[in-house]
Structure 1
Amino acid sequence: MDVAPERDLTVNWRSISLLIKNKVEPDSEYYEPVSATHNMLRVMEAMRAAGAEAAIGDLYTDLGQRIHHRQQLMDIDLAAAVAATGADRSLAEAANDASFDDAVRAETEAGLALVGEDVGTPIVAIETEPGSWQGYFGPVISPAPTGEAALRLWDNLVGLMEFPELFELKRTRNVGPIFAE
């Protein structure tokens, strides 16, 4: 998020459901956590539908910190988290509303259409010319750079997007996630 104001970027936070993408079945050990995050995406799509799209990034950031930094996935008060963004706390009721699943599915499919099925999250996409998008899985970087380093990373990622024939850069992770507090 250090990059957006420095590069005059508009960030559009989109949903990608691992429940949908990975076709997780109820008997899987992963079903409970991916269902919980899927329900959070329902809330984000309810926010988008209600005109509170500007608050989605704040909710994503808050939920990401709670899930990944503090391991609170199953203990999140969604209504309080939504209210903390300035959006109507009643939008959290969408967590249990399957009518938002079509929107979550459409968002997931749109993201995967840019990068393919054999990736995870995050997906970063930029509009390379009006109506034409280029996307990649990643970057997965730990710890996340800040300041000038974040700007260099972004500029280099954008530079790589000039090569639509580039498909993969990867190395094996040798450390676990490192989160700045």
Structure 2
Amino acid sequence: MTSASISQPTAVDFFFDPGCPFTWRTSRWITEVADAGAATVTWRLMSLSVLNEGKDVPEQYRPLMVQSARVLRVLAAVEDNDARGRLFTALGVRRHDNGEDWDDTLLAAAIAEAGLLATLIDAADDAGLDATVKASHEESQTAVGEESGSPVLRLGATAWFGPVVVPVPTGDEALRLFEAVRLLADVPSFSELKGSRNPF
């Protein structure tokens, strides 16, 4: 599949936890695909904190999960899909590409970079938004059919975890991968492929 062969874009729901580095790389792949006209992406939320509720999470990950929950509240408060996508991009570039601390300074800078009101950061302390995040998270799990990490990609009635991509595919490679995913979504008997992960 090449950009010249694209006829009509495929609708994709991309469920993500913004703190996950693997999710970030997959999001850059699906953004590349969307920019080429092969997909339209709806940015949906899921939460690794919700996924791991009641589990023994190593101490070093707990502060990151607390901050991710705060960031998810802010993303939940952004109802416009394009604006949510811009904010996710600003967050991810700062955190995952530039290695900035995962804190409210980064969050405030990302909000500004995305062209959103500075007061949006107040949503980070709005626990009422947790229900919105949880509902979206549960939708991602129901779509896959079993407990699954971030990201979840849904095409029509088919959803699964991943794909996990390191490094990020670009150009025709990105489009070939998407065509493979799109074709697999049309095979009802397909459920899983798995291999060892490439290092960052």
Q: CA deviation at 1:98?
A: 0.3
User: 1:104 aligned to 2:133?
Assistant: yes
CA distance in 2 between counterparts of 1:67 and 1:165 reads 38
User: 1:136 aligned to 2:160?
Assistant: yes
User: 1:53 is matched with which residue?
Assistant: 81
Match among 43, 48, 51 for residue 13 of structure 1: 43
One-letter amino acid of the structure 2 residue matched with residue 93 of structure 1: D
User: 1:36 aligned to 2:67?
Assistant: yes
One-letter amino acid of the structure 1 residue matched with residue 177 of structure 2: L
User: 2:11 is matched with which residue?
Assistant: none
Moved more, 107-116 or 78-87: 78-87
User: 2:5 is matched with which residue?
Assistant: none
CA distance in 1 between counterparts of 2:123 and 2:117 reads 12
- Structure 1: segments with no counterpart, 5+ residues: 128-132
Please tell me whether the aligned partners of residues 90 and 113 of structure 2 are also in contact (alpha carbons under 8 angstroms): no
User: How high is the sequence identity, in percent, across the aligned residues?
Assistant: 37
Please state whether the residue corresponding to 1:176 is helix, strand or coil: coil
Please tell me whether the aligned partners of residues 15 and 104 of structure 1 are also in contact (alpha carbons under 8 angstroms): yes
CA distance in 2 between counterparts of 1:27 and 1:3 reads 34
Q: Please, what TM-score do these two structures have when normalized by structure 2? A: 0.76
One-letter amino acid of the structure 1 residue matched with residue 72 of structure 2: L
User: 2:199 is matched with which residue?
Assistant: 176
CA distance in 1 between counterparts of 2:69 and 2:164 reads 21
Moved more, 159-168 or 94-103: 159-168
What RMSD over aligned residues (CA atoms) do the two structures have, in Å? 2.0
Structure possessing the higher relative contact order (Cα contacts under 8 Å, 6 or more residues apart): 2
- Structure 2: segments with no counterpart, 5+ residues: 1-30
CA distance in 1 between counterparts of 2:81 and 2:149 reads 23
Q: Please, what TM-score do these two structures have when normalized by structure 1? A: 0.84
CA distance in 1 between counterparts of 2:146 and 2:188 reads 17
User: 1:74 is matched with which residue?
Assistant: 102
User: 1:119 is matched with which residue?
Assistant: 148
Q: CA deviation at 1:125?
A: 0.8
CA distance in 2 between counterparts of 1:123 and 1:135 reads 7
Q: CA deviation at 1:165?
A: 2.1
The verdict on how the C-alpha distance between 1:6 and 1:91 changes in structure 2, with shifts beyond 3 A counting, is same
User: 1:147 aligned to 2:177?
Assistant: no
